[in-house]
Chains A and B, each alone.
Chain A
Amino acid sequence: MSWLLVLPIAIPFATAVFAYLARASAAGRWISLGGSVASLLASSALMVGVLREGVIAAQMSSWDAPFGITLVSDYLSAVMVVITAITGLATAIYAFGEISERLEKLGYHALFQTLIAGVTGAFLTGDLFNLYVWFEVMLIASFGLLVLGGSRAQLDAGIRYVALNLVSTIVFLAGIGLLYGVTGTLNMADLSEAVAQAENQNLITVIAILFMIGFGVKAAVFPLFFWLPASYHTPSFAVSAVFAGLLTKVGVYALMRMFTLVFVGDVAFTHEILIWVSALTMVTGVLGAAAQTDFRKILSFHIISQIGYMVLGLALYTPLALMGGVFYLVHHIIVKANLFLVSGVAKKLTGSTDLNRIGGLYKSSPFLAALFIIPAFSLAGFPPLSGFWAKYLIVKAALEIDAWFIAFVALVVGLLTIFSMTKIWGMAFWKPHPDGIDPEPARISPAVYWPMMIPIIGLAIMTVVIGLMPEPFVQFAEIAAMQLLEPDAYVTTVLGVRP
Chain B
Amino acid sequence: MEALTALLVGVLVAASVYLMLARNFLRFLFGLILLSNAANLVIFASGRMTLGAPALVPYGMDTPDGVVGNALPQALVLTAIVIGFGLLAFTLALAFEAYRRLRTLDTDKMNDAEPREDAK
- CA gap between A64 and B47 in the complex, in Å: 21
Contacts of A173 in B (CB 8 A): 36, 39-40, 43, 80
Closest approach, in angstroms, between the C-beta of A292 and any C-beta of chain B?
Answer: 10
From the candidates A136, A155, A181, A234, name the one contacting B102 in the complex (CB within 8 A).
A155
From the candidates A133, A147, A157, name the one contacting B83 in the complex (CB within 8 A).
A133
- CA gap between A234 and B112 in the complex, in Å: 10
Contact status A150-B113, CB under 8 Å: no
Contact status A159-B95, CB under 8 Å: yes
- CA gap between A19 and B29 in the complex, in Å: 32
Contacts of A223 in B (CB 8 A): none
Closest approach, in angstroms, between the C-beta of B25 and any C-beta of chain A?
Answer: 6
B13-32 contact mask (Cβ, 8 Å, vs A): 1 or 0: 00000001000010011001
Question: Does B107 reach chain A (CB closer than 8 Å)?
Answer: yes
Question: Does B73 reach chain A (CB closer than 8 Å)?
Answer: yes
B76-120 contact mask (Cβ, 8 Å, vs A): 1 or 0: 100110010011001100110110011000010011111000000
Contacts of A140 in B (CB 8 A): 86-87, 90
Contacts of A442 in B (CB 8 A): none
Contact status B94-A170, CB under 8 Å: no
Question: Does A1 reach chain B (CB closer than 8 Å)?
Answer: no
Candidate in B46, B47, B73 with the most chain A CB atoms within 10 angstroms: B46
Residue of A whose beta carbon sits closest to that of B111: A156
Contact status A174-B42, CB under 8 Å: yes
**What's the interface size class on B, roughly?**
35 or more
Contacts of A144 in B (CB 8 A): 90
Closest approach, in angstroms, between the C-beta of A240 and any C-beta of chain B?
Answer: 12
Contacts of B29 in A (CB 8 A): 163
A151-164 contact mask (Cβ, 8 Å, vs B): 1 or 0: 01111111110110
Contacts of B95 in A (CB 8 A): 159
From the candidates A154, A174, A180, A233, name the one contacting B39 in the complex (CB within 8 A).
A174
Interface of B is mostly: helix
Contact status B79-A133, CB under 8 Å: yes
Contact status A156-B91, CB under 8 Å: no
From the candidates A139, A150, A229, name the one contacting B97 in the complex (CB within 8 A).
A150
- CA gap between A230 and B112 in the complex, in Å: 10
Contact status A170-B39, CB under 8 Å: yes
Contact status B87-A158, CB under 8 Å: no
Contacts of B40 in A (CB 8 A): 173
Contact status B113-A153, CB under 8 Å: yes
Interface residues of A in 466-493 (CB under 8 A from B): none
Closest approach, in angstroms, between the C-beta of A356 and any C-beta of chain B?
Answer: 11
A374-391 contact mask (Cβ, 8 Å, vs B): 1 or 0: 000000000000000000
Interface residues of A in 408-438 (CB under 8 A from B): none
Question: Does A177 reach chain B (CB closer than 8 Å)?
Answer: yes
From the candidates B47, B91, B97, name the one contacting A181 in the complex (CB within 8 A).
B47
Contact status B79-A129, CB under 8 Å: yes
Contacts of B48 in A (CB 8 A): 181
**Known contacts being A133-B79, A180-B73, A181-B45, is A157 close to B113, with CB within 8 Å?**
yes
Closest approach, in angstroms, between the C-beta of B73 and any C-beta of chain A?
Answer: 7
Contacts of A233 in B (CB 8 A): 113
Contact status B113-A178, CB under 8 Å: no
- CA gap between A383 and B5 in the complex, in Å: 58
Residue of B whose beta carbon sits closest to that of A146: B94
Closest approach, in angstroms, between the C-beta of A290 and any C-beta of chain B?
Answer: 15
Contacts of B80 in A (CB 8 A): 132, 173
Contact status B39-A163, CB under 8 Å: no
Question: Does A143 reach chain B (CB closer than 8 Å)?
Answer: yes
- CA gap between A152 and B98 in the complex, in Å: 8
Contact status A177-B39, CB under 8 Å: yes
- CA gap between A170 and B94 in the complex, in Å: 19
From the candidates B20, B42, B72, B110, name the one contacting A156 in the complex (CB within 8 A).
B110
Closest approach, in angstroms, between the C-beta of B64 and any C-beta of chain A?
Answer: 15
Closest approach, in angstroms, between the C-beta of A74 and any C-beta of chain B?
Answer: 26
Question: Does A231 reach chain B (CB closer than 8 Å)?
Answer: yes
Candidate in A143, A157, A162 with the most chain B CB atoms within 10 angstroms: A162
Q: List 27 A-B contacts (CB under 8 A).
A: A133-B83, A136-B83, A140-B87, A143-B94, A150-B97, A153-B112, A155-B98, A155-B102, A155-B112, A156-B98, A156-B113, A158-B94, A159-B107, A160-B107, A160-B113, A162-B91, A163-B25, A163-B28, A163-B32, A166-B32, A170-B36, A173-B36, A180-B47, A181-B42, A229-B114, A230-B113, A233-B113
The 7 closest A-B pairs by CB, nearest first: A181-B46, A177-B43, A157-B113, A156-B112, A177-B42, A152-B112, A174-B39
